[in-house]
Structure formats: C-alpha cells, structure tokens
Structure 1
C-alpha cells in the first residue's frame, strides 16, 4: 500500500484496528504494573535504609497494614527516614519495630525479604 494513498473505505487504519487498540491497552497496563512494582521496590529500599540497612534487619513480616521487624540495633532506626518513605507511624519496643505503612505491607515485606 502506498503511504500517500488514503486507505480503502472498507479497511480500518492501523489506529482503528481492534487488535492494535487492544495491544495498546495491554502495553499501557503492563507499563503501569511495571511502574507500580518499581515504586514498591523503591519504597522497600527506603524503608530498609530507615531501619538501619539490610544488615540491621533480622526478621521482617507483613501484617495487614504494618511491617513487623526485628532489628539488631534499634539505635540505627531513623523514624524520620521511615516517615519520609511513606510510613504513617513507627512503634518501637526494644529491637522490635513496627512500621505502619498501610495495605502495601505484605508486598513491601516480600520485597525486603528478597533483598535479604
């Protein structure tokens, strides 16, 4: 087909073709999922930093809206950094630290476990 020649009336253009529109929607969904995963990983990295680094974390568990963690040295935990990473609150009980982060707790805990 000549690019200068208009398409025949019975043929849809590339943009109008149903499979092209569906492919575009699929790509948009995949891109959004990937961006969401990257944001989640970035949030997990910031939380790890706020907890004193990966070497300071002994255990992590997602519990509905909280990350329940056990750290080696509680003095390395930076509450301001955790709040800057998106935490709504931090509860310290010795070396047991709970980071209130909302419904992302389980996926973030999984990301942190993958880093350990």
Structure 2
C-alpha cells in the first residue's frame, strides 16, 4: 500500500538524516559516536513497529536486514570504530542507501 510506504518514509526521514549527519561527523570527531547510537536506536524503534502494512518490495527487503545493520552501526559506534560504522551505514545492499532507494519519490526523500 503506497500510503503505508509514504507514512513509514515520513517517520524515518528525520532520523535517517540525523544518522547520516552523525555518521559523517563521527568520521572526523569521535564525540559524534554518541549521536550515531542515539539516531540508530531511534530508527530501530521505528523499524520494530513492523512492515506488514507496507507493500513495497524494496522497503520490506531493507526492513528485513535493518535490525542487523543498525546493530552493526551501534556496536561500531560503541567501540569507536569509524570504519565499521561507515561500512554498515553505506553498504549498498543493506545500508541506508537501500532505504533511500525504497523511499525515492516520497516527500523529503
């Protein structure tokens, strides 16, 4: 259902932008790892609401791997491992760009 996808993308838009900024910032300033953890956990809470109502293959594919990817981001940030954080965040198949592709065309994306 397109409305469910639009709703989910709207819910995730701000937190994803915040995570992107924090991840980029953490690459040069380790103090930003705290913010990386906060933003990733915020996205985890949204993803935990489920995706049963979203009838979009790209979104459901991303949502299925999102918990693992977000855990990798959090764990990397907790260990101040900027390379691990970046690798999980930017993974072309499971990272946040996969969500961006699913939400392409939605307001704010």
Same fold at TM > 0.5 = no
The structure with more helix, counted as a fraction of residues: 2
RCO comparison, higher one (Cα < 8 Å, 6+): 2
The structure with more strand, counted as a fraction of residues: 1
Task: Pick the structure with greater CA Rg.
Answer: 1
